[in-house]
Amino acid sequence: MRSSKSRSRNKNNRNNNRPSGNIVNRVFDSSGPEGKVRGTPQQIIDKYNQLARDAQLANDRVAAENFQQHAEHYMRLLSVAQREQDAKREEQERLNRERQAERDRDRQERMERQEREAANQPPQPAVPTDPAEAPQPDLIDSAASGDNGLVETPEAKAEEKPKQRRPRRKPAVKKPQPDAPKVEEPKPDNPEAAE
């Protein structure tokens, strides 16, 4: 037989080991008076409410109250989870508003700093709208210097230098192949003349 201490200890541990998370979408197994009901909290609430209506139609007030109590339990679970979600959402929105306000302040400070820097810089000379009134660069007399005023490019350098021709290669002497049939040279009729 088990001791009461171990039972109570296990009961406490069961409550601590409940998985936390999104209870709204979590699937529960509810052991009600009519058997197990499985589903999300909203589905279980709907099922117990339907069972309570059926029990009322059958004039079973005890069963109807029992089903309503089971439905109420899951309604409380659902309302607590929705309050937590709303609190998380509000906290996230508050953080987003604070970040946006910080970005806006930084942008405003940057613009003010740029305006101050622009005000502290010496005034720029006015740019004339007519190019004839603008200061003109000094011209160098190219005829006196012997320069035609053109920039020397690599293409121009290539045109000046004559191309050097490569020496022609001598045709390669063909060596007889070992597999090919040997052609004998014609022998002169006169063997003395060959010497």
- Give pLDDT, residue 193: 52
Give 147's DSSP letter.
-
Q: Helix (H, G, I), strand (E, B), or coil: what is residue 117? A: helix
Instruction: Pick from 25-39, 86-100, 111-125, 156-170 the range whose average pLDDT is largest.
Output: 86-100
By C-alpha distance, which of 102, 87, 45 is closest to 70? Answer: 45
Q: What is the mean pLDDT of residues 65-91?
A: 93
Its pTM stands at 0.43
> Angle at CA 26, nearest 5°, toward 47 and 89?
115
Question: How many Å apart are CA 150 and CA 36, to the nearest integer?
Answer: 97
Instruction: Share the mean pLDDT of the chain.
Output: 77
- Give pLDDT, residue 182: 60
